[in-house]
């Protein structure tokens, strides 16, 4: 009989994997997926399926109060072993559960990705430090100084992070990393698809702020300042919806 052991991913995340949204620390769902591919090969995230009395299938379960929730789990593609089901409420931006007939496709989409992250913590211990509000070990360690410290700046890990200037790079625009841009593009895409008027307001304010005449702003998101401006604008919209 083949025994399948669950990977233990406690302590895998690093400070560079974390970005801040408002006052909370997060690991982006895309980064979580990448970590799982690297450290838990063969395990794929799935949603359990619900079948109603009229034999209609859905991934959304109905709670006694009429709100909806998901049931996530991981399955090993080599052995077929499935982990325990993990319930996850479908909520709005204020973390309030949503009635079944009010759940939109974007609510389902966002909850699916959040369920992935929460279920990975429940099943494998991935990023348990953030859920338990435990400081990441690397954050406690002072950075090791090298001979190149005077010419190397810190790495941007989230859209609204500012890099410390150095004697050589001081005064030059700080570039935004590929990972930070991807997080921003994901947020801008969702905003454009579901709140196009709000997206237009953000784009107009971005063009005005940085003197851009191009109708498409994505090609002009190149610096940490751009990321900080857009991240703040999106956060304000999230709070108002």
Query: What pLDDT, in 10s, does the model give residues 177-232?
Result: 877 777 778 778 877 888 888 888 888 888 888 888 887 887 888 888 888 888 88
In this structure, what are the phi and psi dihedrals at residue 175, rounded to the nearest 5 degrees? -70, 150
Among the listed ranges 18-22, 49-53, 65-69, 87-91, which one has the minimum average pLDDT value? 18-22
The answer to whether the Cα torsion of 139, 141, 142, 148 is positive or negative is: negative
What pLDDT does 237 receive? 74
User: What is residue 234's three-state secondary structure?
Assistant: helix
The answer to whether the Cα torsion of 57, 58, 59, 65 is positive or negative is: negative
The answer to whether the Cα torsion of 180, 185, 188, 189 is positive or negative is: negative
Q: What is the pLDDT of residues 12-22, one digit of tens each?
A: 988 888 877 66
């Amino acid at each position: 009989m083949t025994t399948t052991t669950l990977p233990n991913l406690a302590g895998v995340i690093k400070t560079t994997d974390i970005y801040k949204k408002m006052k909370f620390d997060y690991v982006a769902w895309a980064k979580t997926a990448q970590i799982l591919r690297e450290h838990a090969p063969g395990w794929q995230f799935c949603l359990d399926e619900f079948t109603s009395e009229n034999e209609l299938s859905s991934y959304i379960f109905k709670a006694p109060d009429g709100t909806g929730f998901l049931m996530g789990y991981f399955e090993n593609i080599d052995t077929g072993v499935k982990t325990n089901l993990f319930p996850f409420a479908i909520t709005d931006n204020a973390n309030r559960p949503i009635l079944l007939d009010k759940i939109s496709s974007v609510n389902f989409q966002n909850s699916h990705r959040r369920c992935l992250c929460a279920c990975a913590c429940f099943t494998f211990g991935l990023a348990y430090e953030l859920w338990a509000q435990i400081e990441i070990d690397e954050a406690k360690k002072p950075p090791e100084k090298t001979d190149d410290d005077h010419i190397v700046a810190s790495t941007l890990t989230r859209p609204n992070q500012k890099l410390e200037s150095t004697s050589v790079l001081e005064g030059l625009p700080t570039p935004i990393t590929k990972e930070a841009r991807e997080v921003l593009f994901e947020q801008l895409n969702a905003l454009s698809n579901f709140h196009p008027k709000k997206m237009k307001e953000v784009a107009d304010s971005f063009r005005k702020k940085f003197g851009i005449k191009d109708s498409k702003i994505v090609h002009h998101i190149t610096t940490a300042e751009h990321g900080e401006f857009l991240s703040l604008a999106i956060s304000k919209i999230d709070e108002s919806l």
